[in-house]
């Protein structure tokens, strides 16, 4: 009998084990199938919810590096230097812009040390950096060229500078190879000599922090809160060049300062990406200069106008966007923007929506849903023009004698700076009322209305 009991126990134990094994196998198969089927949709549409779910962001710095062909050795030197000279908490995010060398294999070998994405087409510096920003979890964010070598106390010094004042938006170091105020003279002839020089140079000193009108994008540090108000780099700039000027200009438009931390040095090989362009460089640079001009017009006058209106205060990018307009982000969901709030639109709407980034979209608090019929009724009301008592309704577009277009926003007249902004927000098709000088005198002038950063990639 005892033998029979032992046989029965072994039989049922084996049976349960087989069932457990079968269950685990089926579970893994089902999990993998579910993951594979859902990944495409979830990756495209679920990332915003994932980002929003972070109750506390990573308490450190996200270092974003964009790389492309023939730069794997530079990238390796850069990453090695970060690990050697950065005791502060950090994460590294590398975006590979369609390299055809061994960069992808090198990135795979670093699994667990960095996060990365490899793209089949070149997104350009702006597009690649934006992909890195989308993945970043840090409380501070940093762009870093892949042909740099960081040095002792580099990040510590920049963080001290950044956190010294809420007015500071962007901080950059000095280097051996760059244009503008961030260039210093050096005489070292080896990496060892360079680090010896940097150890003596990198002594935190607020007296060496210099406000500037331009920071070059080879190394730029900012707070996440600041980025959430500024948004992404403009992907209208092809491949590279001028997108960093645009980014810094928008920061200054918001009332923030750009600071060169002249107590912080890192090495920069320089011109690696430019040399890779070859004969295309002049063509790309010319197109990007033209894009900057079409987007901003007289940028110096515009900045002076905004600084006068802010009077030392700080704004967000959405303070420069229109009211009573229709927008969308990554998903097809449309929103009605009115008085600084976004309202989800329910029902079919044939009107055109402006495609903005998820960061721009989230910068407006969300309100209760509105029906598409309500939106059409609001626009029909605005098309009636000036009210019977002579008042200009909120959201109305008006044009003065010299054809400058304004929108009534917050009981002020906000100038739409150019055709680029009018076209982006689909306001050219909107009814405009011609007004005389009495209205210009009656209403105060608000912040000008501009176009946001152009987003080419589908998931930012």
pLDDT digits (tens, 9 = 90+) for 257-286: 999 999 999 999 986 555 555 677 788 889
Among the listed ranges 33-37, 202-206, 277-281, which one has the minimum average pLDDT value? 33-37
Residue tagged 């960061």 (tokens):
359
Does residue 17 surpass a pLDDT of 80? no
The C-alpha atoms of residue 444 and residue 394 are separated, in whole angstroms, by 14
Give the mean pLDDT of 431-454: 89
The predicted structure's pLDDT at residue 54: 46
Q: What sign does the CA torsion over 430, 431, 436, 442 have?
A: negative
* Cα 305 from chain centre: 25
Burial of 325 (0-12, 13-18, 19+ CB in 10 A): buried
pLDDT at 1 over 70: no
Task: Give which of 207, 96, 75, 200 is closest to 144, Cα–Cα.
Answer: 75
Q: Give the pLDDT confidence score for residue 35 in this predicted structure.
A: 43
Virtual torsion, Cα 198, 201, 203, 209, nearest 10 deg: -120
- pLDDT classification of 9: cutoffs 50, 70, 90: low
Which of 71-80, 235-244, 368-377: highest mean pLDDT? Answer: 368-377
**52 has a pLDDT exceeding 80:** no
Angle, vertex CA 447, rays to CA 235 and CA 407, nearest 5? 90
CB count, 10 Å around CB of 189?
8
Angle at 212 between CA 286 and CA 307, to 5 degrees: 90
Distance CA 371, CA 378 (A): 11
**Mean pLDDT, residues 273-302 taken together:** 84
Angle at 410 between CA 406 and CA 413, to 5 degrees: 25
Question: Dihedral sign, CA of 331, 333, 336, 341?
Answer: negative
pLDDT at 24: 53
Helix (H) or strand (E) holding 449: none
**Half-sphere exposure for 141 (CA within 13 Å, toward CB):** 24
Q: What is the pLDDT of residue 458?
A: 64
**Alpha-carbon span 319 to 363, nearest angstrom:** 10
Least confident of 49-58, 195-204, 328-337: 49-58
Q: Dump pLDDT digits (tens) for 311-355.
A: 999 999 999 999 999 999 999 999 999 999 999 999 999 999 999
Give the per-residue pLDDT at 11.
52
Q: Which of 43-52, 56-65, 229-238 is the most confident on average?
A: 229-238
Alpha-carbon span 95 to 38, nearest angstrom: 24
pLDDT of residue 198: 98
pLDDT at 48 over 50: no
pLDDT at position 442, please?
A: 85
Q: Are 102 and 76 in contact (CB under 8 A)?
A: no
Task: Kindly report each contact of residues 294-300 with a partner whose C-beta sits within 8 Å and lies 24 or more positions away, as own/partner.
Answer: 294/418, 294/420, 295/234, 295/236, 295/246, 295/418, 295/420, 295/451, 296/246, 296/249, 296/417, 296/450, 297/417, 297/418, 299/249
| DSSP state letter for 393 | P
Residue-level pLDDT at 21: 47
CA atoms of 299 and 361, how far apart (whole Å): 25
Residue 3 has a pLDDT of: 52
Task: Provide the mean pLDDT of the chain.
Answer: 88
What is the reported pLDDT for 8?
55
- Of 101 and 7, the structure prediction assigns the larger pLDDT to 101
Q: What pLDDT shows up at residue 258?
A: 98
Span 283-293, mean pLDDT? 92
- Coil vs helix vs strand at 208: helix
Confidence of residue 457 (pLDDT cuts 50, 70, 90): low
288 pLDDT above the threshold of 90: yes
pTM value? 0.86
pLDDT of 71: 78
Q: In this predicted structure, which of 34-48, 86-100, 147-161, 203-217 has the lowest mean pLDDT?
A: 34-48
Split at pLDDT 50, 70, 90, the class of 42 is very low
Whole-number pLDDT of residue 36: 44
Q: How much of the chain exceeds pLDDT 70, in percent?
A: 85
Percentage with pLDDT > 90 across the chain:
72
Residues 189, 203: Cα–Cα separation, whole Å:
22
Residues ≥6 apart with Cβ < 8 Å to 142: 61, 62, 63, 64, 155, 158, 219, 220, 221, 222
Grouping H, G, I as helix, E, B as strand and the rest as coil, residue 342 is: strand
> Is the per-residue pLDDT at 32 higher than 80?
no
């Amino acid at each position: 009998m005892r033998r029979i009991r032992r046989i029965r126990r072994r039989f049922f134990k084996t049976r349960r084990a087989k069932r457990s094994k079968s269950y685990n196998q089926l579970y893994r198969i089902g999990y993998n199938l579910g993951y594979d089927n859902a990944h495409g949709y979830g990756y495209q549409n679920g990332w915003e919810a994932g980002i929003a779910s972070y109750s506390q962001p990573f308490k450190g710095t996200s270092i974003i590096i964009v790389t492309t062909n023939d730069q794997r050795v530079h990238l390796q030197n850069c990453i090695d230097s970060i690990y050697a000279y950065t005791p502060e908490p950090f994460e590294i995010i590398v975006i590979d812009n369609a390299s055809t060398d061994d960069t992808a294999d090198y990135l795979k070998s670093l699994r667990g040390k960095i996060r990365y994405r490899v793209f089949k087409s070149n997104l350009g510096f702006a597009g690649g950096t934006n992909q890195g920003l989308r993945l970043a979890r840090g409380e501070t964010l940093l762009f870093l060229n892949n042909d740099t070598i960081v040095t002792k106390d580099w990040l510590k010094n920049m963080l001290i500078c950044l956190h010294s004042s809420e007015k500071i938006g962007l901080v950059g170091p000095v280097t051996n190879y760059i244009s503008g105020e961030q260039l210093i003279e050096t005489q070292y002839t080896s990496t060892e000599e360079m680090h010896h020089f940097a150890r003596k140079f990198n002594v935190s000193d607020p007296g060496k922090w210099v406000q500037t009108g331009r920071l070059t994008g080879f190394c730029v540090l900012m707070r996440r809160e600041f980025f959430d108000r500024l948004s992404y780099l403009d992907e209208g700039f092809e491949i590279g060049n001028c997108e960093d000027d645009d980014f810094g200009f928008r920061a200054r438009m918001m009332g923030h300062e750009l600071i060169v931390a002249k107590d912080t040095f890192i090495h920069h090989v320089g011109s690696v990406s430019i040399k890779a362009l070859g004969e295309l460089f002049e063509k790309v640079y010319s197109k990007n200069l033209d894009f900057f001009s079409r987007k901003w017009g007289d940028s110096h006058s515009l900045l002076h106008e905004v600084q006068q209106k802010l009077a030392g205060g700080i704004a967000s990018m959405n303070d420069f966007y229109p009211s009573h307009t229709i927008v969308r982000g990554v998903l097809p969901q449309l929103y009605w923007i009115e008085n600084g709030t976004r309202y989800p639109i329910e029902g079919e709407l044939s009107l055109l929506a402006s495609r903005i980034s998820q960061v721009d979209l989230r910068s407006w608090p969300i309100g209760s849903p509105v029906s598409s019929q309500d939106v059409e009724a609001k626009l029909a009301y605005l098309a009636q023009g000036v009210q019977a008592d002579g008042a200009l309704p909120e959201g109305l577009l008006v044009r003065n004698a010299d054809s400058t277009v304004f929108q009534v926003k917050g009981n002020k007249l906000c100038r739409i700076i150019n055709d680029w902004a009018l076209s982006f927000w689909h306001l050219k098709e909107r009814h405009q009322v011609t007004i005389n000088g009495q209205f210009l005198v009656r209403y105060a002038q608000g912040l000008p209305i501009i176009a946001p950063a152009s987003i080419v990639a589908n998931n930012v």
